[in-house]
């Protein structure tokens, strides 16, 4: 089982920025940035704008390039959704069974979009854009 002095759950803007700030402030312990999505941490706003329009490559949406995280000794754990927290044992468990110990837990898991609850909200053609995968799913209109 891996152990992080600080485990950050959610590798979106908030989680990534927390890791960046910890290093900037001189925190020298181990940091794990655990995220459900397979990508490096990235900015979401272009998903509904330049990325969707095909005007910006995904690489330019990354909050930091891969080398940054390695240089700062931030361990990225992508594609891992945390499903349980045992605060007493200071342990978190992922859906795939992986477990991580932690000293301090930062929960930065963001939110999920609310679907339209009105009639027609579930019709084909009514989309949610929240992540790279969902943006790609309906960018076929281009
Ligand atoms: C399409 C779109 C356009 C936007 N445009 C703008 C804009 O123009 N201007 C603006 O100010 N804001 C905009 N926003 C909002 C902005 O992107 C959000 O405020 C910001 O992403 C919030 O960051 P966050 O890190 O708190 O949450 P999120 O970005 O939601 O990141 C949370 C991360 O945690 C992961 N996660 C969730 N649960 C778990 C779990 N159990 N285990 C592991 N990982 C988990 C998620 O997969 C996600 O990667 C936009 C958002 C979207 C979706």
pLDDT, tens digit (0-9, with 9 covering 90-100), for 24-80: 999 999 999 999 999 999 999 999 999 988 899 999 999 999 999 999 999 999 999
Residue 67 Cα to ligand 1 midpoint, Å, equals 22
CA dist., res. 91 & res. 96, Å (int):
15
Determine whether the shortest distance from the Cβ of 41 to ligand 1 is under 6 A. no
CA dist., res. 6 & res. 8, Å (int):
6
What is the residue with the minimal CA distance to atom 20 of ligand 1? 13
Task: Report if pTM > 0.85.
Answer: yes
Complete DSSP assignment for 104-128: EEEE-----PPPP-STTTTSTT---
pLDDT, tens digit (0-9, with 9 covering 90-100), for 67-117: 999 999 999 999 999 999 999 999 999 999 999 999 999 999 999 888 899
Atom of ligand 1 nearest to the CA of 10: 34
Residue 111 Cα to ligand 1 midpoint, Å, equals 7
């Amino acid at each position: 089982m891996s152990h992080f002095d600080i485990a950050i759950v959610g590798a979106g803007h908030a989680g990534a920025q927390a890791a960046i700030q910890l290093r900037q402030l001189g925190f020298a312990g181990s940091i794990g940035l655990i995220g459900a999505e397979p990508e490096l941490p990235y900015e979401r706003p272009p998903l509904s704008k330049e990325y969707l329009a095909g005007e910006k490559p995904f690489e330019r949406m990354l909050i930091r390039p891969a080398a940054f995280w390695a240089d700062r000794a931030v361990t990225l754990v992508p594609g891992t959704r945390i499903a349980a927290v045992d605060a007493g044992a200071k342990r978190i468990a992922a859906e795939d069974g992986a477990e991580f110990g932690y000293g301090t837990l930062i929960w930065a898991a963001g939110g999920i979009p609310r679907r339209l609850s009105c009639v027609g909200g579930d019709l084909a053609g009514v989309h949610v854009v929240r992540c790279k995968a969902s943006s790609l799913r309906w960018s076929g209109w281009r």
